[in-house]
Chains A and B, each alone.
Chain A
Amino acid sequence: MPDSVATTDLAYDVERVRADFPILSRTVHDRKGKPGKPLVYLDSAASAQKPRQVIQAISRFLEEDYANIHRGVHFLSQTATDQFEAGRAKVATFLNAPSERSIVFTRSATEAINLVAASYGRTFLSEGDEVILSVMEHHANIVPWQLLQAEKKIVLKVVPVDDDGVLDLDAYRDLLSERTKLVAITHCSNVLGTVTPARVIAALAHERGIPVLFDGSQAVVHGPVDVQDIDADFYVFTAHKLYGPTGLGVLYGKYDLLKTMPPYQGGGDMIESVSFAGTTFKAPPSRFEAGTPPITEVIALAAAIDYVESIGREAIAAHEHDLLQYATQQLSQVDGLRIIGTAPGKGPIVSFALDGVHPHDVGTIVDQYGVAVRVGRHCAEPLADRFEVGPTIRASFALYNTRAEVDALVASVLAVKEFFGA
């Protein structure tokens, strides 16, 4: 992601973008034949809606080209294999990975992190070795390391953030030591929106020969990511937050590293030969793709990437940045509302608390106005503890959101305050 982006891009035609998303034209809470409220979808950080282009790519593949891949000698199998591998190449280009051999498909970003923990971690980490995380990690980038901790007696170190939610780079520098064997840090916080300085994080670790994993699930959605430029050793993201399908995650790994790692799961297309005397395994990425992979999903992700590229990642970033600024400004004017996470250059995510009203009550009431937000701790419980806020309300913006939808959010929050006399 860029460290900063230009403000409003006047050329951005959000209405044209919205027309690509069928779900955005529906109403919610329809009653007895009466239309309800227009959907204001501000929960894209949890899962983004799908454009018609992705939906059609799924239908077309299933209707015309579907077959299992890599095994069949028949026409459809070859066609499906070609499209699947073209999808891998597209993801590689999307991340500017040096080769598609560095792209491993998993079930989710969570599984991709688990793969690294289970394969790289179990092989190369031993008792007393340290893994550095940050306090703003999603549970998916905490729990796999805790499982490894229980198994290998490794030590987890946590980089703090300041009151704005900016990663404490000095503390990070101090935590790096001879015992550090891996750094695993988010590229963009799903709660605070904080974008971490990935290039600096990687460079400081690499001075000591320590590999770095970035959780990019929120980052790839909001702007260009270049894994070679930031020099990531591992980079993970999920398809469904990038306007693609559920059930598909991506692990990028430097090929020389992937080659050193043993299989994580066994079976299916990841083998070279099997006998009861023993099994030999294929090279990466096949080595890490046991069983029939998510074929349709990879083709759908390729369509999602095409879609995002057709609009332009810089243009999307500028549009979302405008929404973030507008939302921050408008919400800041609401009495008793506190925004959690005010780092400069943050992604388009606004988490906030409202004095005297519990987020669950806020979520239920704004939903009646058609406004879909996330309430809770957003799978980042240590961060909620850090800011001593417990659950919060999170509005997350995507390429299809508008300033009018920000106004709808603010109006619904004001209605909550009136309802509760807060």
Chain B
Amino acid sequence: MMDDLRELYQEVILDHGKNPRNFRHPDDANREAKGENPMCGDRFMVYLKLKDGVIEDVAFQGRGCAISTASASMMTEVVQGKTAEQAKALFETFHDLCTKDDHEHCDHGPVDEEAMEKLMVMSGVRQFPVRVKCATLAWHALNAAIDGEDKVSSEDRD
């Protein structure tokens, strides 16, 4: 029983949940989107500085559970400096990681292996389907910000 919990709440996740990275509102952000989970009321704002198709800066603010906060925090670390397309491919691959068995993953284009290695700590969420929305909330908001939408709900997919 506790093994599953430890797999879900790995130390890295607990650390990111307590001490989220890039938890700020950059002055020079030119894109932003709100991600909302209507079931629990968790809300994140994701801020982007997108220049010539490259994510020059990404940060977030808001409130959520340990899983959603850690996922948002890790997301901001791994998509810094990526192109919008790379970030989207990473999102799709991460989504597969949270929802599908290893052999079911689809090809979403080239992804940064190092980034995916970091994100592997979130794979425990697969055993807790109800928490997938937590893990992907900030990613949905990132996607919306890239697309120029101002808000997104985690009920829209997953």
Contacts and interface: CB of A to CB of B under 8 A. Distances in A.
Interface of A: 29, 31, 36-37, 357-361, 364-365, 368-369, 375-377, 381, 384, 390-391, 419-420
B8 interface: yes
Interface stretch (B24-32, B53-61, B63-71): B63-71
Interface residues of B, number: 21
Name the 6 nearest CB pairs between A and B, nearest first.
Answer: A358-B65, A360-B65, A391-B40, A376-B40, A361-B66, A361-B65
B9 interface: yes
B5 interface: yes
B67 A375 contact: no
Contacts of B42: 358, 360, 391
Contacts of A381: 41
Given A36-B1, A360-B134, A364-B131, A376 B39 contact: yes
Nearest to B66: A361
B149 interface: no
Contacts of A368: 1-2, 4-5
A101 to B, nearest CB: 40
A95 B66 CA distance: 45
A358 B128 CA distance: 16
B14 interface: yes
B35 to A, nearest CB: 15
A37 B68 CA distance: 27
A377 B40 CA distance: 6
A37 B1 contact: yes
Contacts of B4: 368
A364 B9 CA distance: 10
Contact of B67 (A29, A361, A419): A361
B14 A420 contact: yes
A79 B64 CA distance: 55
Interface in B1-59: 1-2, 4-5, 8-9, 14, 39-42
Nearest to A370: B1
15 contacts: A36-B1, A357-B66, A358-B42, A358-B64, A359-B40, A360-B40, A364-B128, A364-B130, A368-B2, A368-B4, A369-B1, A381-B41, A390-B40, A390-B41, A391-B40
Contacts of A375: 40
Contact of B8 (A357, A364, A369, A420): A364
A83 to B, nearest CB: 39
A361 B66 CA distance: 7
A377 B41 contact: yes
B63 A390 contact: yes
A359 B68 CA distance: 12
A36 B42 CA distance: 31
A369 to B, nearest CB: 8
Nearest to B2: A368
Contacts of B2: 368
Contact of B66 (A36, A384, A390, A420): A420
A20 B8 CA distance: 36
Given A358-B65, A360-B131, A29 B1 contact: yes
Nearest to B3: A31
Given A361-B65, A390-B63, A419-B9, A384 B131 contact: no
A266 B64 CA distance: 45
A359 B4 CA distance: 18
Given A361-B67, A364-B128, A384 B5 contact: no
A357 B63 CA distance: 11
Most buried by B among A37, A384, A391: A391
